[in-house]
Amino acid sequence: MVPSSSNPGDPSSSSTSPSGSENLSAFHRFLRKAQLVSGIGVTAEERTKDLEELNIRRCEKMKKELIDTSPLLVFMLKHLRLSGCQVPEQNIVCVPCASPFTSAASTNSASNPHPSETQLHAGAYLPFPHGAIKLCAGHFFSKQHVESTIAHELVHMFDECRFKVDWQNLRHHACSEIRANNLSGDCKYTREMRRGIISFTKQHQACVRRRAITSVAANPACPSPAHAERAVNEVWDSCFADTRPFDEIY
């Protein structure tokens, strides 16, 4: 028999008990979190990494809830499946993005047909190699913002699946951007007000057109903003009226 190294009567033995270890571990976690929040005793890089991990956890939680409960996303995912395009949950990924504000697409427009304007860069559709959606963790101001961002990118995915979009073709790109902005909720009146844009006549159409032109103009295949506007104008009537897979604008 191996003798016990601890003496039940020794007060110090309680520090090595399971409950004592758990309390100590909890205290260390609390202390570490306090350091990361206050910045005392940690580097800027450590604080940035902790914030990124927190934002990713929050983004993933909202994403999972929305995929299961949002009528808009459930509907889109169903129709993607019916079109022969499965969208596994792991293909919708929350990641840290370089900057919350950007005036252009991410580095490769072929993998990002949805560059942002000068508002929060919230996500992108990545058609290569297998089709995925990138969500910029920490760039969302509400759960509804996450919902509309996923819906926007799912419209791109639906177009890719059904119509074999060539993202280097400005007319193709323009049509998908018109549809994505029109159907996702991106151009709701409340969203435009948050952007500081207030209009009382044809607000929705103006928003869809503006955002589509901005996106196409950032495509490296587009020679100039004038070419982007021309591409949007050429396909506007047919693409704005095309609400598939919806019966009407959401």
8 A C-beta contact, residue 33 and residue 40: no
Residues 125 and 109: their CA atoms lie apart, in Å, by 10
Residue with tokens 């993998």: 111
Active-site pick, 117, 153, 160, 177: 153
Residues 8 and 129: their CA atoms lie apart, in Å, by 62
Q: Is 45 a catalytic residue?
A: no
Q: Tell me the backbone φ, ψ of residue 173, rounded to 5 degrees.
A: -60, -45
Catalytic positions are: 153
